[in-house]
Structure 1
Amino acid sequence: MNKYNNILVVADPAQDHQPALSRAIHLARNAEDVTITLFLAIYDFSYEMTSMLSADERQAMRRGVVMQREAWLKDIIRPYVEEGFKIELTVVWHNRPYEAIIAEVFSKNHNMIIKATHDHDKLGAVIFTPTDWHLLRKCPCPVLLVKDHSWPENGKILSCVNLAADDETHEHLNDKIVNEGKAVSTLLNAELNLVNAYPATPVNITIELPEFDPASYTDAVRGHHLKSMKALRHKHGLPEEQTHVLEGLPEDIIPQMAADLDAKIVVLGTTGRTGLSAVFIGNTAEHIIDQLNCDLLALKPDGYVSPLSPTLE
């Protein structure tokens, strides 16, 4: 069974070219029975401010704008529909796009969101919008944030695991990150690689404790991470050469590894607001994903409850 058979694609209202839709079509070509919903949330404050119009007239104007955008999107999807892809359209009037997107996920049980991001002009890294950040923090299903370029021919999938802690929550999230990487790798016929960054010896410890041996400390930390990675790769049936344990900060190691492997997608775990050390949302995440030269697939741990869940209302 294809785990991504109900994909929500967030349309870019500013251009006819839709990189997120192209990614969804690519995934659908390699799978069976995939439904794609192309979604657009629109809002124009000027329509709300026209005091000379009645509520009914304002409603009619909003409906007219929605119908215009629906017609525009129909033109975009027509070639794919004619090719046999199942694509539905949803256009809503909403002043907070991320809330509309997440409400749609809950309403239709989508199992992946795909949304385009923007490139930095200089380095080709990704710029994340406020909507992107809200989706990364609050969306219950996997979020694939894509750049406007083709996936590299022999590009790899890079799953980023955190082996610093031994608690069950981290283990489950690591397993999920690896399993998601395997699913995407199978779908795209790509090689899965795992990466883990471990910290360098803190300089202040070596200064404050003259008898402290930084080399032994570093060896011990590296040994723990190598042992944990070995257990993880054995558990998931991966060869040693597809696993990487490197000294440094995640925000340095992960983008560098993605570039070295010519990665198609980097898979990250995001733990929302639970405060676990595996959390990449915050300063570390901004550093990591703003420097990535490829797409990002962000996951929540099992049991994550979105603050926008209807059950909380």
Structure 2
Amino acid sequence: MIECNHILAVLDAERDNQPALSRALEVAQKTGATVTALMVVYDLSYDMTTMLSPDERDTMRDAVTKDQSKRLSQQLKEQGFSNIDIVVEWNNKAYESVIYYALNNQIDLVVKATKNHDDLASVIFTPTDWHLMRKCPRPVLLVKDHDWPENGEIIAAVNVGSEDEEHDALNDKITDIANEYARLLKGHVNLVNSYPATPLNIAIEVPEFDSEKYHSAVKNHHLDEMDAHAAKHGIAPNKCIVKEGLPERVIPQVAKEIDAELVIIGTVGRVGISAALIGNTAEHVIDALNCDVLAIKPNGFVSPYTV
């Protein structure tokens, strides 16, 4: 069963509606979990006031967070949300507050609304949800404007062509979670796997290279691995999709074709230059989707914020 006793909904101070909270409450209703609403606020002008002492700055920050908490509580009551724990924290790095709160309060699921990111801006200023996908050890549900209807379609994005044991373990974890959400939402699990196209440079540089034979071998390998993985987890053959192409193209394409309500994908945290230049498949996938994404870390993942 999905272990979901405490959900953290990350609210956006710039939004009137709070889709993350709505989705968190929807999951809580089905699992019996409690929900905490966290809003992170920051105003650079308070830190630039050189005439104030550190204690005076702290007093001003406390006043801002308390005022924001009161306004948020009133706003949520007017929108019909009640009996929700509200936490407002001051931090110029919102993702740090989210991760620390999740680690220190036994959070099982972090829910946050997301939107499309500008590619250049994302490289220079990594968005909060990218940081959460890389560094938060808890599952992160990124919410978009798509309903969760009964008998809907759920995608488990797997990489069954890999011979890596960690990839296999992550595939199992993703599929198990997809099956649990399917039971929770009365939906259907679709396994989606992509495989690479034949490298053109090899076909050009090596005249005797049989590109058709290579392509057929790669495709059949992925099909066989998918059959074995599906059988292991009780997924029907007609719910298994294997396509040629990059996962960041294949997954959104399939999600659009079947009108998926949720995509579950594994993500491995990257930091530094590699994170900026390469990014994660999950990060590229989410911008191209119009449905929710549940990002799952592999077993044994340790957040850089874990004490």
Same fold by TM-score greater than 0.5? yes
CA distance in 1, matches of 2:140, 2:281: 18
Instruction: Verify: 1:225 aligned to 2:222, yes or no.
Output: yes
Residue pairs, 1:1-313, within 5 angstroms: 2-32=2-32, 34-78=33-77, 79-81=80-82, 87-119=84-116, 130-152=127-149, 154-273=151-270, 282=279, 284-310=281-307
CA distance in 2, matches of 1:203, 1:2: 44
CA distance in 2, matches of 1:2, 1:291: 27
Contact 1:118 1:148 in 2 (8 A): no
How far the C-alpha of 1:286 sits from its partner, in A, is: 4.1
Contact 2:116 2:287 in 1 (8 A): no
CA distance in 2, matches of 1:120, 1:176: 28
CA distance in 1, matches of 2:134, 2:240: 28
Alignment-mate amino acid for residue 218 of structure 1: H
Identity of aligned residues (%): 51
Structure 2: runs of 5 or more not aligned: 119-124, 272-277
Aligned in 2, Cα 1:120/1:105: closer, same or farther, shift over 3 Å? closer
CA distance in 1, matches of 2:216, 2:140: 36
Structure 1: runs of 5 or more not aligned: 122-127, 275-280
Contact 2:35 2:85 in 1 (8 A): yes
Contact 1:119 1:147 in 2 (8 A): no
CA distance in 2, matches of 1:252, 1:149: 20
Alignment-mate amino acid for residue 39 of structure 1: L
SS in 1 for 2:290: coil
The one-character-per-residue Cα deviations of 1:152-193 (angstroms, maximum 9, x if unpaired) are 564311010012211211110000111111122121111111
CA distance in 2, matches of 1:201, 1:25: 46
SS in 1 for 2:31: coil
Alignment-mate amino acid for residue 180 of structure 1: I
SS in 2 for 1:30: helix
CA distance in 2, matches of 1:19, 1:239: 33
Larger deviation, residues 89-98 vs 283-292: 283-292
Aligned in 2, Cα 1:286/1:141: closer, same or farther, shift over 3 Å? closer
CA distance in 1, matches of 2:182, 2:245: 26
Alignment-mate amino acid for residue 72 of structure 1: R
How far the C-alpha of 1:218 sits from its partner, in A, is: 1.3
CA distance in 2, matches of 1:68, 1:148: 29
RMSD: 2.1
SS in 2 for 1:246: strand
How far the C-alpha of 1:102 sits from its partner, in A, is: 0.4
SS in 1 for 2:81: helix
After TM superposition, the score normalised by the length of structure 1 is 0.88
Aligned in 2, Cα 1:52/1:273: closer, same or farther, shift over 3 Å? closer
Aligned in 2, Cα 1:60/1:119: closer, same or farther, shift over 3 Å? same
Aligned in 2, Cα 1:27/1:283: closer, same or farther, shift over 3 Å? closer
The one-character-per-residue Cα deviations of 1:283-313 (angstroms, maximum 9, x if unpaired) are 6444322211211111110000111111xxx
The count of aligned residue pairs is 293
After TM superposition, the score normalised by the length of structure 2 is 0.89
CA distance in 1, matches of 2:222, 2:242: 7
